[in-house]
Chains A and B, each alone.
Chain A
Amino acid sequence: MSFLFRLFFHDRTANALVWWLKLPDNARFSSQSSSRMTLATATQPEEARDKAGLSHSGSRRSGPDTAFHLLVAASALLVLVVLGGLVVLMGVGGSQAFRTFGLGFAFHDVWNPVADQYGAWAPLFGTIVSTLIGVAIALPLAFGTAFWLTAMAPPRIAAIVGTAVQLLAAVPSIIFGMWGFFTIVPFMARTVQPFLTHHFRHVPGIRFIIHGAPFGTGLMTAGLVLAVMIAPFMTAVMRDVFAAMPAMLRESAYGLGATRWDVMWKVVVPWSRTGMIGAIVLGMGRALGETMAVTFVIGNVTAVGWSLFAPRSTVASLIALQFPESPAGSLRLSALLALGFILMLLSFASLALARMLRGDTK
């Protein structure tokens, strides 16, 4: 490994690399020595051993040690390169679209492959609204269930339900998509939408939200399926966070005469606020980039509108459906990659938000 470095870089570059990877000092490269890289340890044994700590019980052993260090550092570097490549390639691939449509690409609401006009607003709107609906439904479900599991349920039942919920958090998303497609979509089309249309058709303020033919697909359906998908995950995290609170705090509050809800709202929630925020944002991140669960139930029409019950599309579903039909080098492909880039930024922002709210900068 080190030999390879020596082949490709000058001494100074190689040394910079060594410094950057935080290799022990004795691994410096030096062209004064013979053509192969030599370790300086032999010439300055005492200081090097002291500096490098455990690893230098003998000068001859540091050869394989350095090789091992370089090996694991290289795999760390590879992980870094993969993500860097992901971001860069998405940006480069989408640059054609960004050049053609400018920054307005993100807010342009026409997606028309026939006229070669592309704007990201329709799928972005779908992604954001369906995610918000999903989180808004999943949050009370998860919070209520975690409350029940940690404060009310008999221990035996809590253990069973808790394990079941944790297991269900691992079910692949395509299963939720199928379930939504065969259960929720017909339910929405036959029961919910006719009911809403019949009763709220003329109510101002609600009318435009429920507008649309009863297809059963749309943002509301997608939000529901997303909620069911992320709720087990959020419940599992919240339950762990609640259970991690020292029992002393809980018992003291009960001892002072607090009711169950008092303990929950005034002791447990403030204590575990950061963990709860983490659970919510992680659930949101999952919903943002979800492809399979959404593609089945969103209807896949690139339109913008306030109706929650009309077919729409999300970034991920649009990519999944249109990418296979887009020829290489076309503007459409570039627009899809640009969409991917924006989705990447969204998911990155949600992770950064979680870290910021949690208050650690590591």
Chain B
Amino acid sequence: MSETVVSTTGWKPNPRAARRRRADHLATAFGMVMAGILVLVLASILWTLLSRGLAGLSAAAIMKPMGPPGSSSGLANAIVGSLIQTFMALLMATPLGLGCGIYLSEYGTETNKFASCVRFVSDVLMSVPSILVGLFVYQVLVAPFGHFSALAGSVALAILAVPIIVRTTEDMLRLVPTSMREAGAALGATRWRVTLSLCLRSAKTGVLTGILLALARVSGETAPLLFTSLGNQNWSFSLNRPMASLPVTIYQYAGASYEDWVQLAWAGALLVTMGVLAINIAVRVSARRG
């Protein structure tokens, strides 16, 4: 009897443990390889972008307007056009998104069918392919007027920005404790006062983050601009006429067979990426501080 006890407590190789250990080694290798591949590929993209973009980037590329190939042209009107259109888009999207977000968080209770409908629609809009937004705006603002316009481009970008602002505004306002609202009401403030001066104020950083994220998303969009603001070789500041934008210019120049245009496309790509990354980093830093 004592012999059996000794034999069971003694160490024996356990086939199940060995199998588990082998699976673990395999999975570890799998995880490392996958992470390595992803990091390498992403680094390769950044490297291509930096090396080719910096080669094409010069003072002339930023200061001079677009022109025919071989004429030492630049991207100045595209840069300014992009700035104007994204600014206009935010100007339209911010009040609308804020209003909708406020409605959803302050009035859109669980039982409110209309609010849950709007919430669902806003989620759908967030994932709608951006080119379809371009088609929609073309039918509403380009086809009836018979010409492409920067205004149509801005509206298309605004439609893409609104759902992001709605979502963050609602989430951030929901984080404001109810006791704050009750305190405001107890002091005699009306509901709109409570919403604007207390809730929105304390959720300011979060709401601003949403607007910045929308800006980052919108500033690199190409597809919705193709059929709305079209692009323009010359300077144009009129919202009623086609206007150049950086992403559309990149699209036109990258596929061209002129070496200097391709270089300008890379320079433009570098500018767009740096802009988007800078906004995202700013959001991150401010979120950490707030």
Contacts and interface: CB of A to CB of B under 8 A. Distances in A.
A and B from one assembly? yes
Interface stretch (A104-112, A212-220, A340-348): A340-348
Contact of A167 (B44, B118, B280): B280
Contacts of B269: 174-175, 178
A264 B28 CA distance: 11
B194 interface: yes
A231 interface: yes
Contacts of A65: 190-192
A147 B31 contact: yes
A171 B121 contact: no
A72 to B, nearest CB: 4
15 contacts: A68-B195, A72-B106, A80-B118, A140-B30, A144-B34, A161-B39, A172-B220, A172-B247, A174-B222, A178-B254, A231-B38, A289-B127, A319-B135, A337-B135, A350-B127
A80 B121 contact: yes
Given A86-B136, A178-B265, A54 B24 contact: no
Given A68-B195, A259-B20, A292-B223, 7 more contacts: A64-B190, A73-B103, A76-B115, A79-B118, A144-B30, A175-B269, A179-B44
B131 interface: yes
Binding site of A, secondary structure by majority: helix, strand, loop or mixed?
helix
A93 B140 CA distance: 11
A174 B103 contact: no
A152 B28 contact: yes
A316 B127 contact: no
Interface stretch (B56-64, B203-211, B270-278): B270-278
Interface residues of A, number: 98
Interface string A54-86: 110110011011011101111111111011111
Interface in A75-121: 75-80, 82-86, 89-90, 93
B38 A316 contact: no
**How large, as a class, is the contact surface on chain B?**
35 or more
Nearest to B136: A86
Contacts of A147: 27, 30-31, 34
A173 B44 CA distance: 16
A351 B79 CA distance: 35
B286 interface: no
A264 B24 CA distance: 10
Contacts of A340: 131-132, 135
Contacts of A68: 191-192, 195
B100 interface: yes
Interface stretch (A35-43, A202-210, A245-253, A320-328): A320-328
